[in-house]
Amino acid sequence: METVRFTNMAEGTAEDYALLDRYEEQYMTGLPERLMESLEKLRASFAGYQVSRYEHSLQSATRALRDGRDEEYVVAALLHDIGDELAPWTHGEMVAAILKPYVRPEVCWVVKHHGLFQLYYRAHHSGGDRNARDRYIDHPWYAACAEFCELYDQNCFDPAYEALPAEHFRPMVERVFSEVRYLGELEET
C-alpha cells in the first residue's frame, strides 16, 4: 500500500494529500456497511427490555416507514441509538454528528435531543424531571422531537410488533449516506 512521505502534516505535499484524498474516498464508500455493523452490535446491549436495542431500532424505522416518513427520517430512526455502545449518556449527540452531513438539520436535532425528550416517559418514576425537555419548548423543532419520541421511540419495545428486517433498510442507508447534502451547523440552543 502506498503511503504519504511526511511524518508531520505541515510537511505534506499536494501529491501526499491527493493520495490521502483517494484513500478517504474509498473509505467513505464503506460507511453504510460500518453503520449497519453498528446497528447489529445493538443485539447485545442493554439487558432488561423485552426486546434488544437492535429490535427496538428496527421497530422504530419500520413504524416511521409505514407512516410514510422520508428516507432521511427512516434511516435516522433506524440508527438513532447506535451510539449507546460508546456514548450511553450522549448517544443522541454522537449519532446526530454522524447524520449531520447526510440528513436535514431538523432530523439531526431530533436525534440529538431524543434522549432528553424520552425522560418524559420515565424520569418521574425515579425522581427525575419528566418535563426536562421543556427547556426547548420554544425551539421550532420541539414538537418534531416530542412526536419522534411518542411515535418512533417510547413505543418500540414490543416483542409482538413485526418489524422489517435490517436488510430491508440497507438500500436506504446506502442512498442516504451516498452523498453529503448538508454541511451547515446544527442550530444550537
pLDDT at position 189: 39
pLDDT at position 183: 79
DSSP string covering 18-63: HHHHHHHHHHHTTHHHHHHHHHHHGGGS-TTSSS-HHHHHHHHHHH
pLDDT at position 163: 98
pTM of the model: 0.92
Residue 152: inside a domain: yes
- Looking at the structure of the chain, the number of domains it has is 1
pLDDT at position 47: 79
Residue 13: inside a domain: no
pLDDT band for position 174 (cuts 50, 70, 90)? very high
Considering only residues 32 and 187, tell me which one the structure prediction assigns the higher pLDDT.
32
pLDDT band for position 90 (cuts 50, 70, 90)? very high
**What CATH code is carried by the domain that includes residue 131?**
1.10.3210.10
Residue 68's domain spans which residues? 32-176
Residue 166: inside a domain: yes
Q: Count CA atoms closer than 13 A to 45's CA, side-chain side.
A: 18
Residue 22: inside a domain: no
Residue 105: inside a domain: yes
pLDDT in tens, 92-121: 999 999 999 999 999 999 999 999 999 999
Residue 25: inside a domain: no
